Structure 1
Amino acid sequence: MKKHFVVHLMVSMLFLVFFFSSSVFAYNYGFENITNNNAGDAAIGEAQLSFSVTKYSDTQVQFLFQNIGPEDSSIADIYFDDDVPLMTWSSFSLMGDGVSFSEGAKPGNLPGGKAFSFSSDYSYDSDSPVQPNGINPGEVLGIVFDYTDGYGLDQIIAALNDGSMSVGIHVQGFASGGSEGFVNTPTNPVPEPASMVLLGIGLLGVAGVSRKKILNK
């Protein structure tokens, strides 16, 4: 089963690398902890959870969430604060093996987000059982949005960079048994070819499976 998963993951990544033009760039963002329920868990989340933003089509943008591991953690809820709005939800684009999400998170707003004026406009959460179906080490989830008329990728990146659009996540599955809330860090990311991002995710997925094999021996 694990061997099949590795083969499936690598084939999927190679297909996506071929599909995306090298001229398509990914803008990468990290997360900052806002709840600090446990300093160790907060550090784990900030170190290994992130998302990238890419052009999906002429009328759509993709947010690709990833957990590079190796520490236990699971992105269980994803929230978008998009007041303008610059986009509207379309579909899930890439759901890694073991990941299962639906539209409409519970709770409806990011835990700890109220203190930071975070108000969710779109939300998604992992299906039951929550932690196993979340984004665990080596796993990814893609969410696609349609551009609102008159807006595009440049406006979305500008909004993420200046903080007028925010992305939040609720993370469970830490070894401590706790949970944490995070928001993206407004920054000016250096864009890199999307193909390199996808190849990196594929290699991280294989590494995650290899780690599980070692731990299970």
Structure 2
Amino acid sequence: MSKRTIALVAGLIRGRRKQLGTRWRKVTPGTQAIIVLAALRHDQRLLDMVGGNDVSTSTVRRWVLEVLGLLAARAPRLDRALKKIARRGGAVVLLDGTLVRTRRRTGTDNRKNYSGKHKAHGLLFLALTDEMGNLTWISSARPGRAGEITAARHDHITRHLREAGLGTLADLGFVGLDDDPDDAPVTITGRKATAPTASPTPRRRRTGWSAANAPPLSTA
């Protein structure tokens, strides 16, 4: 984990403690940031983080939820992100969905997180970037079974594009997303991922029985 990321999270924690007027905490903001980032980034179990830091599992869980709230409050809004692109002279944005895989939940709760497309459990996110591929906005998490185009309609992507003055949306499978194609159209162009190039090294032929290398039949 980079020092810049740790410093950013530690600064958010420090500001939150000052806002609450907390006089004493078990660890410093920097240590709390490292523990939380280890749990989030490297999927460390909460039980693994309590031993060497002399804290309880419930405390680490509370720290994780606290930092998640602080980070979520800094997330850019979709309308502001699009208007920022428009002010820079941008005319095209790229939209795609991705499934972040998660562990399978117990009971019937696991069904809504199962993606039939990916054949795996996870959470669905929509990511919006500029024409250079720089991340501009990311949606909130949705169950893995949700459809990408349905999630895009739920977030009113095309309406925000019109309000920001952007008229083109290049996407990876959202053709037909425009909900008002007559009065204020948004040009949606489907872009397929390029196919991987063939390996220059020829594949080895499988060795096995064939009629060419079979022994001649006996004529006796």
TM-score (normalised: structure 1): 0.25
Find the structure with the greater CA-based Rg: 2
Q: Report 1 or 2 for greater relative contact order, CA contacts < 8 Å, sequence distance ≥ 6.
A: 1
More strand as a share of residues: 1
More helix as a share of residues: 2
